[in-house]
Amino acid sequence: MTGVHFCGIELAHPIVNASGTFDAIAARRAFGDELLERFPFAGFVSKTVTVRPRQGNPPPRLWELAGGMLNSIGLPNKGLAGYLEHDLPALAELPVPLIVNVMGFTRDEVATLVAAFAERPEVAALELNVSCPNVETGMIMGADPRETAALLARVRPLTDKPLVVKLTPNASDVPAVARAAEEAGADAVSLINTIRGMALEPATGEPALGGVTGGVSGPAVRAVALAQVHSVRAASSIPIVGMGGVQCGRDALDLMRAGADIVAVGTESFRDPAAGSRVASELAELLLEAAPASR
């Protein structure tokens, strides 16, 4: 398969992972170095890093749905210092470019994270998780175009590395947020994050998840992802990482036809850690079929 360029990063193929759906360090414990030899993604997006360590939400954290799942994990991570000391050296051993996903509860926190990674040569790009509230304004950073623009204005001057804004689908006007991000200097957007959802325990009628609500993912959200990628493409001209319920090459091709430049596989990796490779090869075949015969 021919490589692709994404924000100046060379990728061997258009399939990456969705943040928080593949822990390459844990996977290496389970599969050994075969993971590196058969790494399923052309770029690796690490799980969200916050300034301080987080334990994550109390269990239960998962609930199976028709065609998907609901999760309330709560962004457990070692915090910035722990990530730099333990995770970054291990992730630097991966055979693909590393994109670090960061989240802060204030613009200053996001700035701290962006500045910390700006000088690290192991990091190819940063993805900003804007699905959390700004505790200073009470607004979800990615739910309002002005909040998103203000965040980008704060962090854009801190790095030359590509900044990818991970859009939340839980916003009233996602294309307006994408346009605001672009105008404020974002290099790309990625979408969709999980859609807020809830399940009740049948026996008790109480919330099934320890975090009460959670995020819906899997094939159940694929049509939503397609529509949001399509509408963001119409509103913005920067590259799009499309994701949401991708299970096969056809799903990835659909997202690309709707406007995505590259595609992320998320929940499907839970069902098969090698799903990314399969999706990439199926997509390559489809692109070959779709290409004009003059090669």
Partner 1 sequence: MSGGRVLAPFGRRAVPVLARTGYGPYVVLRCADPLGPCPRAGQFYMLAAADRWGGGEAERPFLPRAFSVLRAQADASELEFLIHDVGPGTQRLCELDAGDGLMLLGPLGVPFAPPRDGRRPLLVGGGVGIAPLVILHDELGTAAVLLGFRDADHADAAVLLPGCRVATDDGGSGHHGLVSDLLLDELRLDPHLEVYACGPPAMLEVVRLICAERGVPAQLALEAGMACGYGACFGCVVRTRDGYVRLCVDGPVLDASRLESVVGVGASIG
Q: Please state the length of the chain.
A: 295
Tokens 């739910």 sit on residue: 143
Size of the site for partner 1 (CB under 8 A): 38
Question: Whose Cβ is closer to partner 1: residue 21's or residue 193's?
Answer: 21
**Residue from 75, 132, 192, 232 carrying the catalytic annotation:** 132
- What is the CB-side half-sphere exposure of residue 251 using CA atoms within 13 A? 25
> Other CB atoms closer than 10 Å to residue 189's CB: what's the count?
30
Cβ 50 vs Cβ 104: under 8 Å: yes
CB of 72 to partner 1, least distance (A): 9
Residue 105 found at the interface with partner 1 (CB under 8 A): no
Q: Which of 277, 284, 286, 287 binds partner 1 (CB under 8 A)?
A: 277
Binding to partner 1 (CB under 8 A) within 34-93 occurs at 34-35, 38, 55-56, 59-62, 64-69, 71, 73, 76
Residue 8 lies near partner 1 (rule: CB under 8 A) = no
Provide the strand spans (E) within 96-227: 98-102, 123-129, 163-166, 188-191, 195-198, 213-217
Here's the x/- map for partner 1, 206-225, by CB under 8 A: it reads as ------------x-------
The answer to the question of residue 203 lying near partner 1 (CB under 8 A) is no
Confirm if 49 and 102 have CB atoms less than 8 A apart. yes
**Quick check: 21 binds partner 1 (CB under 8 A)?**
yes
Q: Residue 264 in contact with residue 16, Cβ under 8 Å? A: yes
**Binding test (CB under 8 A) with partner 1, winner from 32, 89, 95, 157:** 32
Q: How far apart are CA 169 and CA 197, in angstroms?
A: 12
Helix (H, G, I), strand (E, B) or coil at 273: coil
> Is 7 noted as a catalytic residue in this protein?
no
Provide the binding-site residues for partner 1, judged by CB under 8 A.
20-23, 25-27, 29-32, 34-35, 38, 55-56, 59-62, 64-69, 71, 73, 76, 218, 267, 269-274, 277
